[in-house]
Amino acid sequence: MTTVRVELGDRSYNIHIGSGILGRLGSWVREVSAGDKALLVSNRRVFALYGETVSSSLAGHGYQVFPAEMGDGEEYKNLATLEKLYDLAFARGLDRRCPIIALGGGVVGDAAGLAAATYLRGVPFVQVPTSLLAQVDSSVGGKVAVNRPGGKNIIGAFYQPELVVADIRNLQTLPRREIKCGLAELIKYGVICDAGFFNWLEENIDKLLSLDEGALVYAVAAACRSKARVVEADETEQGRRAILNFGHTAGHAVEVLSGYGVFCHGEAVAAGMAAAARLARAMGLLPAAQVRRIVSLLSRAGLPVSLPPSLDSGDMIAAMRQDKKARAGRLTFVLPLAIGNVKLFDDLPEELVRQALS
Ligand SMILES: NC(=O)c1ccc[n+]([C@@H]2O[C@H](COP(=O)([O-])OP(=O)(O)OC[C@H]3O[C@@H](n4cnc5c(N)ncnc54)[C@H](O)[C@@H]3O)[C@@H](O)[C@H]2O)c1
Ligand SMILES: [Zn+2]
């Protein structure tokens, strides 16, 4: 097992990463919360697989566990779900010391996290991420949110968990496509800030695809360490945290234009990272050989490396200008200067972007 510490002063916390560690959850939760009740938020699929292990571990450490089931899917990351969570917590008498625990992927983590941030003005929050994306990305860093019909994640908060427990054995039951989506975010960390990890990924991508436990623990820990360092430097996204959006400018446009659900997030981000790498080459920032390494690693992970030809480049540009992270409609890209080093460019000429996209 590996533990990564996120250093944020009095909001610091541990991320425990290992194989078969779910049964130890109760003892770790006990270290961070004194309450006698716990709200366990999950969905039907994940609860059926891991709810029992988690509940009995919590019960073994003195928690009365109240399961709170939410719908499975992005469309349930909404205010109606939050209301149900608040009402259940209140009806069961959870007080300010009682933890809210998220067991599931990023959808469960984001919704349960916002409930924890706001119920009684904030209660201890514990993340138990069960998807690869949640283990390497959404469970770390303290962004919690729900969606509105007009936009993703528009109601949210920065609220750090007290503890994250990532059991990579849970990934054995994760659909194959979700594994690949998580790999896209792993590759992202290599490109943005960890050249050594990128090299490691080139050598070990096949082990990750075959769910080798040692390789998964190593990779999830490396990713969490990278994300922790970025978040420590810029908890509330005033600057450096924006590098985590590498691949996401074009990626979000692909998701929006092709209709949510056609491409999963990681696939769209993979195509977006390849596009950003090509754009960097066109601007003379990144050598062609490094573009080839990025594209080749993404395709070995089974991810798309080109934008869908059906998407019109004018529509893509319009969508990117409307992205909520683009300031004043400017074309904002995180571009690699080398593998392991990126820079934010926040007003790129449209013609350049158009050429790189096509
Ligand atoms: N807060 C952040 O910083 C942050 C960062 C990135 C993404 N996100 C959010 O994360 C969400 C996406 O997360 P996701 O990719 O985990 O999607 P998800 O939560 O929808 O999970 C994907 C699917 O896998 C299932 N699943 C999860 N774990 C499983 C397991 N071990 N075995 C079998 N099935 C399992 C889920 O039930 C779901 O059907 C989005 O809402 C996105 O906005 C948040
Ligand atoms: Zn992402």
Which CATH number belongs to the domain containing residue 221 in this structure? 1.20.1090.10
Q: Measured from the CA of 170, which atom of ligand 1 is nearest? A: 31
- Specify the pLDDT at position 47: 98
Same domain? 208 vs 261:
yes
* Residue 126, domain extent: 2-173
Which CB contacts under 8 angstroms, 24+ apart, belong to 287-290?
Answer: 290/336, 290/338, 290/339
Which of 130, 156, 173 is where one domain is finished? 173
Ligand 1 lining (C-beta closer than 6 Å)? 43, 45-46, 49, 72, 74, 77, 104-108, 110, 130-131, 133-134, 137-138, 141, 143, 152-153, 170, 173-174, 178
- Sole residue written with tokens 């080798």: 212
pLDDT at residue 259 in the model: 79
Could you say which of 173, 197, 222 is where a domain stops?
Answer: 173
| 81/118 same-domain check | yes
Pair (213, 337) in one structural domain: yes
Does one domain contain both 309 and 182?
A: yes
Catalytic annotation present for 237: yes
Q: Rounded distance, CA 235 to CA 287, Å?
A: 32
Rounded to 10 deg, the angle between the 265-282 and 248-257 helix axes is 130
118 in the same domain as 58: yes
Q: What is the dihedral of CA 307, 245, 227, 108, to 10 degrees?
A: -80
Q: Is 74 a catalytic residue?
A: no
The last residue of one of the domains, among 116, 147, 173, is: 173
Q: Are 164 and 137 contacting, i.e. CB atoms less than 8 angstroms apart?
A: no
Q: How far is the CA of 77 from the centre of ligand 1 (A)?
A: 11
Ligand 1 centre to CA of 28 (Å) is 23
Indicate whether 161 and 190 sit together in one domain: no
Q: What is the predicted pLDDT for the residue at 262?
A: 85
Residues in Cβ contact with 292 at an 8 Å cutoff, skipping those fewer than 6 apart? none
**How many residues comprise the chain?**
358
The catalytic residue among 237, 321, 325, 354 is 237
Same domain, residue pair 244 and 120? no
Looking at residue 214, its pLDDT comes to: 98
Same-domain pairing of 23 and 6: yes
Pair (346, 202) in one structural domain: yes
Assess whether 121 and 235 both reside in one domain. no
Tens-digit pLDDT string for the chain (358 aa): 999 999 999 999 999 999 999 999 999 999 999 999 999 999 999 999 999 999 999 999 999 999 999 999 999 999 999 999 999 999 999 999 999 999 999 999 999 999 999 999 999 999 999 999 999 999 999 999 999 987 889 999 999 999 999 999 999 999 999 999 999 999 999 999 999 999 999 999 999 999 999 999 999 999 999 999 999 999 999 999 999 999 999 999 998 898 767 899 999 999 999 999 999 999 999 999 999 999 999 999 999 999 888 899 899 999 999 887 777 889 999 999 999 999 999 889 999 999 888 7
Do 244 and 316 sit in the same domain of this protein?
yes
Residue 147 confidence (pLDDT): 94
CATH of residue 142: 3.40.50.1970
Total tally of structural domains belonging to the chain: 2
| Residue 37 appears among annotated catalytic residues | no
Same domain for 198 and 341, yes or no, is: yes
